Amino acid sequence: MECEVCGKPIFGRPLRVVIEGSEMKTCNSCAKFGEVREIQSPQQQKQVRKRSYHKPKQEHIPDVVGDYNDVIRKTREKNGLTQEELGLIINEKASVINRLESKRMSPSISLAKKLERALEIKLLEESEESSPGEFKKGENAELTIGDIIKVKKKG
Ligand SMILES: [Zn+2]
């Protein structure tokens, strides 16, 4: 393989360079005479494809906290409720509460939300990803002291 511009032998892969509208295969030093077209090896193409899938757009699904079983049990006991009573409040069987508290079952999002409301606890954690538009409440939105404290606490 020889460079189509200078005629020198090219070791390795020639560069595809567009010079005055026509594509040439050139050596490294002649590439500067035109616009280099990206040559991707199959390996690189794979990486590019992977990268584009890196951040799929999906609805944010909150995670249930890891110690949900303790949180539920402790709060229930603190409020003097039996598993049956808590079950009645959230319209679930006592066996469901039992399985949650012994961590044999993880709550669904809707069940976790019911428990959060009933016991005034936090079972779902939002992701820590902060969006830049988070504090944009309106066109002329300004940060209040409350917002600043919130930001400080976050960090
Ligand atoms: Zn050359």
Question: Residue 103: what are its φ and ψ, rounded to 5°?
Answer: 60, 25
Identify residues whose C-beta is under 5 A from ligand 1, the ion: 3, 5-6, 26-27, 30
Q: Which tokens in the block code for residue 25? A: 């295969």
Find out whether 115 and 107 touch, Cβ atoms under 8 Å. yes
Q: Is the pLDDT at 58 greater than 90, yes or no?
A: no
Q: What is the pLDDT of residue 128?
A: 53
Q: Is the pLDDT at 84 greater than 50, yes or no?
A: yes
Q: How many whole angstroms from 21 Cα to the centroid of ligand 1?
A: 17
What's the number of CA atoms in the CB half-sphere (13 Å) around residue 25?
A: 11
pTM over 0.75: no
Q: What is the pLDDT of residue 66?
A: 92
Question: What are the start and end residues of each CATH 1.10.260.40 domain in the chain?
Answer: 63-125
Q: How many whole angstroms from 105 Cα to the centroid of ligand 1?
A: 68
Average pLDDT over residues 102-108: 94
Q: Does domain 63-125 bear CATH number 1.10.260.40? A: yes
Q: Is the pLDDT at 41 greater than 90, yes or no?
A: no
Q: How many whole angstroms from 106 Cα to the centroid of ligand 1?
A: 65
Q: How many whole angstroms from 24 Cα to the centroid of ligand 1?
A: 10
Q: What is the pLDDT of residue 137?
A: 42
Sequence-ordered alpha helix ranges (H) in the chain: 42-52, 68-78, 83-90, 94-101, 109-119, 145-154
pLDDT band with cut points at 50, 70 and 90 for residue 150: low
The per-residue pLDDT of the chain, averaged, comes to 80
Average pLDDT over residues 105-120: 94
Q: How many whole angstroms from 39 Cα to the centroid of ligand 1?
A: 17
Q: How many whole angstroms from 44 Cα to the centroid of ligand 1?
A: 25
Q: Is the pLDDT at 139 greater than 60, yes or no?
A: no
Q: What is the pLDDT of residue 11?
A: 85
Helix (H) / strand (E) element for 22: namely strand 22-26
Q: What is the pLDDT of residue 135?
A: 44
State the distance between the two ends of the chain, measured CA to CA, in whole angstroms: 58
